[in-house]
C-alpha cells in the first residue's frame, strides 16, 4: 500500500508517495533527499530532527507522514534565503555556537520557531524554546548568545523597516 501526501515544503508545493507507516524525518531525508534534518534518537528525546510545521517546532521522527497533508513544513534547508544566511545562522557562526554540528539544524529550527513568533524573547522563553534540543558539545551558553544576537538583529530590522542594516 502507498500513501500520497501533498504539502508545502520550504515554500514549495510537494507531492510524495511512500509507504503509509513512514515517519516525516525519513520522508524528508530519504525520499526528498534533504539530509540537513538529523536523526539522533528516534524517540523525541533529543530534538535533532526538529522541523517547523505550521509555525510550530516538532520532532519529525515521531510524525507519521499522513499528518503532514496540507501543512507547511520548513526544514533547515529552507532557512537560508538564496545565498544569504539568515540572521540566526550568521549569529550561530559569529558566536561560536557550532561545534560538531549534528544538533545544530534542530536547534536552529527551534530558535526560528521562537523568533518568528516572538522576536524579543526573555531568558526563560528562550531557554524553554530550546529545552527540547540536546547538545553534547557546546554547553548551550553560546547557543543562547547566538539566539540573543539573532533576536536583536531581527527586531532591529523590523523597527528600521526591513533591509540589511547591520
Partner 1 sequence: MTKFVGKSMKKLDGVDKVTGAGTFTSDMVAPGMLFGKILRSPHPHAKVLKVDTHEAEKLLGVKAIIYRGNVPSNTYNSMAAMVMAVPFVKPILDQQIFSEKVRFVGDEVAAVAAISEKIAEAACKLIKVDYEVLPAVFDIKGAMAPDAPEIHDPELTPVGKNILAEFSMPNDAVDKAFEDADVIIEEEFNINIVKHFQLETQAALAVVAPNGKVTVHSTTQSPHSAKAILAKVFHIPASKIRVANPPYVGGAFGVRAGLSAKAEIMAMALSMAVKKPVRVVYSREEDTIASDTRHGAVLHVKLGARMDGKFVALDLKGYTNTGAYASYAAEVQGVLGGMMGTEYKIPAVRYYGHAVYTNCTHAGAMRGFGAPQANFATERVVDMMAEKLGIDAKELREKNIIKAGESWPLPYPCSSSELGECIKRAAESIGWERRGNLNSDSSHIKRGLGMAIGTYVSNAGPTSLTMTMPMWRYNLMVP
Partner 2 sequence: MWQEYIFPENIEEAVSILNSSKGTARIIAGGTDLMLDLKAGRHEVLKLVDLSKIKELGKIIEENGMIKIGANVTCSQIVNSDLIQRKALALAQGARKLGSKQIRNMATIAGNVVRAQPAADTAVPLAALGAKLEIVSADGTRTMDILDAYGDSLAKSNINSTSEVLTFLYVPVQEAREGSAYVRLDKRKALALPILNIACKVSLLGDTIKGASIAMGPVGPGPQRAVDAENKLTGNTISQDSIKTAAQLVINQCDPRDSAVRGSRKYRMAVINTLAERTITQAVACAKA
d(CA 83, CA 87): 13
Q: Of all helices (H) and strands (E), which one includes residue 29?
A: none
Q: CA nearest 119: which of 91, 151, 87, 150? A: 151
Contact between 140 and partner 1 by CB under 8 A: the answer reads no
111 phi and psi angles, rounded to 5 deg: -65, -40
Looking only at residues 55 through 84 of this chain, which bind partner 1 when binding is defined by CB under 8 A?
A: 75-77, 79-80
- Pick from 6, 17, 30, 66 the residue near partner 2 by CB under 8 A: 66
**Choosing among partner 1, partner 2, none, which partner's interface includes residue 38 (Cβ < 5 to 8 Å by kind)?**
partner 1
d(CA 57, CA 114): 8
Contacts with 152 (C-beta within 8 Å, 6 or more apart), sequence order: none
CB of 62 to partner 2, least distance (A): 5
Alpha carbon of residue 75 to chain centroid = 5
**Choosing among partner 1, partner 2, none, which partner's interface includes residue 64 (Cβ < 5 to 8 Å by kind)?**
partner 2
Binding site for partner 2 (CB under 8 A): 1, 3, 20-21, 23, 42-45, 47, 50, 53, 56-59, 62-64, 66-67, 110, 128-129, 131-132, 134
Binding site for partner 1 (CB under 8 A): 29, 34-43, 46, 48, 75-77, 79-80, 85, 88-89, 92-94, 96, 98-105, 108, 134-137
Amino acid at each position: 500500500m502507498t500513501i500520497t501526501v501533498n504539502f508545502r515544503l520550504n515554500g514549495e508545493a510537494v507531492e510524495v508517495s511512500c509507504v503509509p507507516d513512514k515517519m516525516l524525518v525519513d520522508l524528508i531525508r530519504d525520499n526528498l533527499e534533504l539530509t540537513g534534518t538529523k536523526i539522533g534518537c528516534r524517540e523525541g528525546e533529543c530534538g535533532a530532527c526538529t522541523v517547523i510545521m505550521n509555525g510550530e517546532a516538532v520532532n519529525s521522527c515521531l510524525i507519521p507522514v499522513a499528518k503532514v497533508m496540507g501543512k507547511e513544513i520548513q526544514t533547515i534547508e529552507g532557512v537560508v534565503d538564496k545565498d544569504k544566511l539568515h540572521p540566526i545562522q550568521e549569529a550561530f557562526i559569529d558566536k561560536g555556537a557550532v561545534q560538531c554540528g549534528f544538533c545544530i539544524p534542530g536547534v536552529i529550527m527551534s530558535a526560528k520557531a521562537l523568533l518568528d513568533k516572538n522576536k524579543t524573547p526573555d531568558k526563560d522563553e528562550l531557554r524553554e524554546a530550546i529545552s527540547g534540543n540536546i547538545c553534547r558539545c557546546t554547553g548551550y551558553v553560546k547557543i543562547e548568545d547566538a539566539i540573543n544576537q539573532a533576536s536583536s538583529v531581527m527586531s532591529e530590522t523590523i523597527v528600521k523597516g526591513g533591509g540589511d542594516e547591520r
